[in-house]
Structure 1
Amino acid sequence: MATLSSKPNHVRSISLPGRSHPITQRVEEEINKLKSLSVAPTADSVYSGLFGLEKLYKRIDDLFSLQQTLCQSLDAEWVEDLLDKSVRLLDVCGTTRELVSQYKENVRDLQSSLRRRKGDSTTDDSVARFTSFSKKIKRDAKRLALNLKQMDQETAVAVLLDADQDTIAAIRALREANAVCISIFQILLSFLCVPLLKP
């Protein structure tokens, strides 16, 4: 008959971090795509950046609709910090949208004036109005870029000790999304500040 050994068997276990939720992985993929964009202020990089931001925020919306308990597990300080940055980004987005629409309107007026070109003073007036408007746009864009730079430098370093892995991943994703959003808007604003070519 077989006897049991009196030696204890040592069993080793490897503790691996759990896999992220697929939606969290999709958010991280979108963030990485946006980080790889060119930082040159070209029309293509602005378009790709804004289109990518739309896709990113749809993924983040999916992530937070999945994370129903997120607000319950976070400190109020974290929630306030994340909400504050998001609201400030929305303000910058709205102001930038107004600048772009004003820019488009002034370009249309200038094009219309140039098409009617009769050699009269209206063309010169339109060019002068557009030049002064573009200087105003540059000032406003530089002011917004400075606000974005300040937002980018503000970092919260608090650590969540009681949060689970999914909550930490969601917070990290939102913070990285804010940083990427700031860089995309900086590209857009620098695109608006490109100097006009002299005829």
Structure 2
Amino acid sequence: MGLRFKIVNIVIKKRVRSISLPCRSHPLIFQLKDQIANLHSWSLNSDSRTAAWICEGLSHLKTVHNHLDDILNLPQTRESLRHNPHWIDKLLEHFLRFVDVYGIFQTLILSLKEEHSAAQVAMRRKDEEKIALYVKSRKRLARQMAKLVSSLSTVQKKTKIAEQGQAGVTADLAAVIEEVIGVTMTVSLALFNGISESFGTKNTWRWTRLDRVTKKVKKSAEDQEKGIQEFREIGSENLRELKKKGKEETKIAMKKMRDLEDWISDIENGSQRVFRSLISARVSLLNALSQQQEHKN
């Protein structure tokens, strides 16, 4: 009877200890890793750079950050992070940069929607002057997208968080957050670079940087057409000299413009969801930092 009691007691202690470990074997960690794996699989299909592919990546990324937010709100995670305020500060810096970049992107994509809608009216009226303004606005947008890519480069240079060996933070937790930052970079570069390259700017990072982030370097990708397929199909040459185009040619161009308008809306909605999930995850990190400061006081 005494031996049986000791065995039961040991089992109970092990269960309590496993629960108290900061996320080491929590099911949410495994769920998050599965979602990250989905994004890695998604990135391997970068040969097909379509708007649907971009939207799929944004959807996966939003799910990844939702799972991360759930993990950050676990009591054992907060307890783990509470002892590492400097590490939280570094994470907050990364997430603030992502939030800023996606906030700017929301403004840019909304502007593109409005200008694209106005351009369709101009096409129906064959108003080449307004179409020329639309072409210029797309080139301006391309330069702004390139700036977003450049802004993200500062995050990529500082993502080696898991290697710092933070005391009190499990290797699983540190590594999975590192991976979240990595896949966020992957999707973001695909989105911003894709639009930038579609609209013709030359001073953008090559797609090989995206391949490097995902550890999949393919030299043949450099020789393929850049950009997102649906964005690239409506080139400047399709929009100029409308009065010289035949009825059928104009009809095809108009349909492509309508289809692109739908994809712009889908990308806007997908990026907005990512933006909100980034804010939510950052708030959870701030809460963990506030909890640390309360304990300190």
One fold, TM greater than 0.5? yes
Post-superposition CA distance 1:135-160 (Å, at most 9, x none): 11111111111122332122344212
Determine helix, strand or coil for the equivalent of 1:163: coil
Q: What's the TM-score, normalizing by structure 2?
A: 0.55
Counterparts of 1:91 and 1:164 in 2: how far apart (Å)? 27
Return the match for 2:183 from 156, 162, 180: 180
Counterparts of 1:78 and 1:54 in 2: how far apart (Å)? 23
Corresponding residue for 2:50? 42
Within-5 A mapping of 1:36-75: 36-37=41-42, 38-40=45-47, 41-66=49-74, 67-74=77-84
Give the AA of the match of 1:43: A
Corresponding residue for 2:30? 25
Q: What's the TM-score, normalizing by structure 1?
A: 0.80
Determine helix, strand or coil for the equivalent of 1:130: helix
Determine helix, strand or coil for the equivalent of 2:164: coil
8 Å contact kept, 1:113–1:126: yes
Could you say which structure has the greater relative contact order, defined with CA pairs below 8 angstroms and 6 or more residues apart?
A: 1
How many Å apart are 1:164 and its aligned residue? Answer: 5.0
Give the AA of the match of 1:192: I
How many Å apart are 1:130 and its aligned residue? Answer: 0.7
Post-superposition CA distance 1:40-95 (Å, at most 9, x none): 53201210111111111111111111123133232x22111111000101001111
Corresponding residue for 2:115? 106
Q: 1:155 to 1:126 in 2, by over 3 A?
A: same
8 Å contact kept, 2:122–2:130: yes
8 Å contact kept, 1:42–1:191: no
- Greater Rg, structure 1 or structure 2? 1
Give the AA of the match of 2:112: Y
Q: 1:42 to 1:149 in 2, by over 3 A?
A: farther
Counterparts of 2:153 and 2:78 in 1: how far apart (Å)? 32
Corresponding residue for 2:289? none
Unpaired stretches in structure 2, ≥5 consecutive residues = 1-20, 200-233, 239-297
Q: 1:164 to 1:103 in 2, by over 3 A?
A: closer
Counterparts of 1:26 and 1:173 in 2: how far apart (Å)? 11
Counterparts of 1:170 and 1:101 in 2: how far apart (Å)? 36
Say if 2:165 is the partner of 1:159: yes
Aligned-residue Cα RMSD (Å) equals 1.9
Corresponding residue for 1:124? 128
How many Å apart are 1:125 and its aligned residue? Answer: 2.0
8 Å contact kept, 2:149–2:189: yes
Give the AA of the match of 1:159: G
Q: 1:178 to 1:127 in 2, by over 3 A?
A: same
8 Å contact kept, 1:82–1:175: no
Counterparts of 1:155 and 1:63 in 2: how far apart (Å)? 19
Return the match for 2:174 from 171, 174, 177: 171
8 Å contact kept, 1:110–1:126: yes
Determine helix, strand or coil for the equivalent of 2:78: coil
How many Å apart are 1:191 and its aligned residue? Answer: 2.2
8 Å contact kept, 1:63–1:170: no
8 Å contact kept, 2:81–2:168: no
How many Å apart are 1:39 and its aligned residue? Answer: 2.9
What is the aligned-residue identity percentage? 21
